[in-house]
Structure 1
């Protein structure tokens, strides 16, 4: 018998490994395109400093890439170990994009990473640039297929339940591929990765400028990061708005909990800027609102309502009651699958099968569910509002702070005086952890907000878990946390080491902290003062 404690600890284990893994992924997604930009300038101008920039930032990218791959492998194995019934129930659908990611994107990405680091002296400038571009494409294609799989978990289109196989089966791969939720999630997520890399390069470059070291190198890096970062943060905000619209259509529960909207408001609904949330009484004790904003964001209209939590619960109650009938009919079909009458009756209610399965948490025979059990299942369909509400606002608040930083950096880059703006440089350094915090909050909102489902509206989380002993899961959790923490310490140590060394780590003899060699300078006095 699977206990609630086993479900919780299994969820915690996957959450920990996912959040650890996603410390490394965003920087990888963004750094590759910054490397493409830098190397493109080198190829077109022949200026040695741009090659050095590509190689130095590429070194930091390589450290991060290695740690990202290591932590990512564990996650895919968990589907077959800790979430075996999930893998059985939806494996034909969920496994397809993951397999394509491994066979196509990951192999392309890994091959090009090797050529990037070991091909400098073996390939021409143009050939090496093509390698860098393909490395960037492979990295982002990898994210695409993973996010298509995750997007299907959020909005399970292009598939249906088969009573003959007792599993979900794919109806249309094209529908899954073009799932609006998956496409919005992909662009939003990779754009967040671009922002992460931009803040990373901006912050380290600002640190060098504050210390008056490697100024020409730092100025050019700062310029690239400010321009790329501004474009990226605008994309994040625009696609975040689009994601809000898709959530409003596909996951009304998530939308309502993000906004702490307990009751349906007249259209267009107000946006709760901040609120005093009272979970016990299911209301807000106070709130500061922006009129009409939520209705426009969530529905793209002035006359469509966004349902509140209480109204959603009542809809879910009806679906649970229909789900009881669906579960009962399915059990009869397992005994007499040739009965066409049962098949017809089941087809009428099978869309609510997942809601009926929510009652399996409280009784094996859902047809015997009491009103109290049904009420518990209804309450389960709503995740806790407080963490959803504040996590979302933390993410958005950090996003707008980064927008302000990039706007200021770009403004002073255009004016050519950013290197003298001490306040701007210090601000950039202080903001270094901001994108990682925002991204982790965003993933929490996306994944916790889907509960109590692994596949939204289809498969409850408590039915997806493998029947391990709690001790086994605790043991593996402790092992993962210990191992991942060691990897994180290694990552931070190596990053700090090479950030301190700066471009001197390339060993060219051209940068601060190195013994000068008999080499051609990479810049003239004019280049030092130019803003490119």
Structure 2
């Protein structure tokens, strides 16, 4: 039987390390493109202030990038440590985009980050600008392949289960790459990173203006941040709408849980702004906008959104169909030449993962009772209210930043960046909000997928390694201590850079001028010996 405590600790460890890592990723994405924009202006105009801006924000980017690499490497190791059966079951599919990310994107990014810092006085202006743009593209390519892998977990296209190897295998790699869920997640995630970078630049620049320091750099940085941030904030909302539409097609239970919609409503369904649950967990009081949810998620007036109750009933049907596939798989394992069993398996294999949900209740799932099937079907419902409020926090912050950047863009166009100290303080005070939004967005995307580690294919509890309780407690404690220390180091380094302000030379500059070494002093003359008297 499955030890749920081991599964929960494994999930907690991966979630904690992933959320720590995701503190650094959005800022890396956002700052990389803003650096490239600033250096492009420097190359076109030749004005030294734009080089100084690129150097200053590039230094902060470098600190954040190093911490992102340090925290990200551990996550991939966990697939072999904490999720061994997951690696065995879907490694042939999941490992491909991860390998491409390492070879094509991460090495590209890491190589050109070095050239960015060390190449200022060794490359031409255009050559160094090319390096900076390649850093930005490498960061985004890295995110692309990671999200292709994650998108496959949300919508496992281009693959099939091979009953002879007992593993998932790729059948169409192009379908994996162009998975609609992965593409929607990618554009939505990187746009959120761009907003994070713009808020960071705007907030630090506002702090400089409040302190009366580095005004020229701060004003120009705020103009770039306001323009880039407004376009990015609008993109986040539009592309988030696309993510919701795609999830409606492939993850109906996630949408129903995000809306706390327990029963199917007449089309088009209304959007719940606020709700209070009753003792049974269902909403007892709601504030709703009619039609909005149906229009957003189905883009129609007549398509219904199924509720949680109806989706649980559908899951029970799929579990029963999955049991047929499970029995056919057992027959194939006993007799690989049984063509009848293979035909049955091909017809029902899409529901095999639902049969595996019964492993939580008994080993011989083919003998499952009706009560156990009902329990397994209800397990397909994620925790509703954490998803409900996480989604609303994310949306509220996204809408706030549209208005926020629109106002700053207007002020920048009127050259009135310093006329309102209250707004400058607001820009500083709202610095943490993008990280709140991206973290709760991660909760919506990943927590909302439960109980699946791969949607409809592999239950989370079935994918975990067979570890001991104290092994997980010790490793989790170790990672949390190390990651907290790394976060503290990053914050300390960034505060030091901000306090020191911009410089005209790269942090890692190498002086091309040869050192002038003074010539050694001549040795002292030997004392003359007096000529003896007899020699005269």
Please state which band the TM-score falls in when normalised by the shorter chain.
Answer: over 0.9
Supply the distance in 2 between the matched residues of 1:227 and 1:423 (Cα, whole angstroms): 21
The match for 1:318 is 317
TM-score (norm 1): 0.94
Question: Is residue 158 from structure 1 mapped to residue 158 from structure 2 by the alignment?
Answer: yes
In the TM superposition, what whole-angstrom CA distance separates every residue of 1:353-374 from its partner, at most 9, and x where no partner exists? 0000000011000112122211
The match for 1:270 is 270
Question: Is residue 143 from structure 1 mapped to residue 147 from structure 2 by the alignment?
Answer: no
- Pairwise CA distance, 1:506: 5.2
- Pairwise CA distance, 1:504: 5.0
The match for 2:56 is 56
Supply the distance in 2 between the matched residues of 1:314 and 1:384 (Cα, whole angstroms): 18
Decide whether aligned partners of structure 1 residues 409 and 20 sit closer, same or farther in structure 2, where only a CA change above 3 A counts: same
Supply the distance in 1 between the matched residues of 2:9 and 2:91 (Cα, whole angstroms): 22
The match for 2:72 is 72
Supply the distance in 2 between the matched residues of 1:322 and 1:140 (Cα, whole angstroms): 41
CA contact (8 A) 1:394 1:438 kept: yes
Q: Give the number of the structure whose alpha-carbon radius of gyration is greater.
A: 2
Q: How does 1:28-107 map to 2 (within 5 A)?
A: 28-107=28-107
Supply the distance in 2 between the matched residues of 1:3 and 1:501 (Cα, whole angstroms): 53
Supply the distance in 2 between the matched residues of 1:102 and 1:248 (Cα, whole angstroms): 32
SS state of the match for residue 224, structure 2? helix
SS state of the match for residue 263, structure 1? coil
- Pairwise CA distance, 1:329: 1.7
CA contact (8 A) 1:405 1:427 kept: no
Supply the distance in 1 between the matched residues of 2:163 and 2:71 (Cα, whole angstroms): 37
The match for 2:520 is none
SS state of the match for residue 234, structure 1? helix
The match for 1:525 is none
Where structure 2 has 5 or more consecutive residues not aligned to the other structure, the ranges are 508-536
Question: Is residue 124 from structure 1 mapped to residue 132 from structure 2 by the alignment?
Answer: no
CA contact (8 A) 1:7 1:465 kept: yes
- Pairwise CA distance, 1:497: 1.2
Decide whether aligned partners of structure 1 residues 477 and 505 sit closer, same or farther in structure 2, where only a CA change above 3 A counts: farther
Supply the distance in 1 between the matched residues of 2:41 and 2:154 (Cα, whole angstroms): 40
- Pairwise CA distance, 1:283: 2.0
The match for 2:459 is 460
SS state of the match for residue 22, structure 1? helix
Q: How does 1:363-374 map to 2 (within 5 A)?
A: 363-374=362-373
SS state of the match for residue 420, structure 1? coil
TM-score (norm 2): 0.93
The match for 2:111 is 111
Supply the distance in 2 between the matched residues of 1:310 and 1:500 (Cα, whole angstroms): 56
- Pairwise CA distance, 1:348: 1.6
Where structure 1 has 5 or more consecutive residues not aligned to the other structure, the ranges are 509-532
SS state of the match for residue 24, structure 1? helix
The match for 2:395 is 396
CA contact (8 A) 1:115 1:131 kept: yes
Supply the distance in 1 between the matched residues of 2:375 and 2:467 (Cα, whole angstroms): 25
Q: How does 1:487-526 map to 2 (within 5 A)?
A: 487-504=486-503
Decide whether aligned partners of structure 1 residues 507 and 337 sit closer, same or farther in structure 2, where only a CA change above 3 A counts: closer
The match for 1:308 is 307
The match for 1:528 is none
Supply the distance in 2 between the matched residues of 1:409 and 1:260 (Cα, whole angstroms): 36
SS state of the match for residue 23, structure 1? helix
The match for 2:280 is 281
CA contact (8 A) 1:4 1:462 kept: yes
SS state of the match for residue 16, structure 2? helix
The match for 2:13 is 13
CA contact (8 A) 1:158 1:172 kept: yes
Q: Cα RMSD (Å) of the superposition? A: 1.2
Q: How does 1:169-184 map to 2 (within 5 A)?
A: 169-184=169-184
Q: How does 1:315-354 map to 2 (within 5 A)?
A: 315-354=314-353
Question: Is residue 481 from structure 1 mapped to residue 467 from structure 2 by the alignment?
Answer: no
Runs of 4+ in 1 over 3 A off after TM superposition: 504-508
The match for 1:222 is 222
CA contact (8 A) 1:408 1:424 kept: no
Q: Which stretch of structure 1 is more off in the superposition, 253-262 or 343-352?
A: 343-352
CA contact (8 A) 1:498 1:505 kept: no
Q: Which stretch of structure 1 is more off in the superposition, 329-338 or 253-262?
A: 329-338
- Pairwise CA distance, 1:505: 8.6
Supply the distance in 1 between the matched residues of 2:25 and 2:282 (Cα, whole angstroms): 38
In the TM superposition, what whole-angstrom CA distance separates every residue of 1:101-124 from its partner, at most 9, and x where no partner exists? 001101110010000000001001
Supply the distance in 2 between the matched residues of 1:172 and 1:459 (Cα, whole angstroms): 20
The match for 2:207 is 207
CA contact (8 A) 1:264 1:307 kept: yes
Supply the distance in 1 between the matched residues of 2:190 and 2:343 (Cα, whole angstroms): 44
CA contact (8 A) 2:52 2:504 kept: no
Supply the distance in 2 between the matched residues of 1:8 and 1:478 (Cα, whole angstroms): 15
Supply the distance in 1 between the matched residues of 2:56 and 2:503 (Cα, whole angstroms): 9
In the TM superposition, what whole-angstrom CA distance separates every residue of 1:212-252 from its partner, at most 9, and x where no partner exists? 11111100011100000000011110000000000000000
Q: Which stretch of structure 1 is more off in the superposition, 366-375 or 99-108?
A: 366-375
Question: Is residue 188 from structure 1 mapped to residue 188 from structure 2 by the alignment?
Answer: yes
CA contact (8 A) 1:452 1:461 kept: yes
- Pairwise CA distance, 1:430: 1.0
- Pairwise CA distance, 1:409: 0.4
- Pairwise CA distance, 1:423: 2.2
- Pairwise CA distance, 1:80: 1.0
Question: Is residue 427 from structure 1 mapped to residue 422 from structure 2 by the alignment?
Answer: no
- Pairwise CA distance, 1:277: 2.2
The match for 2:532 is none
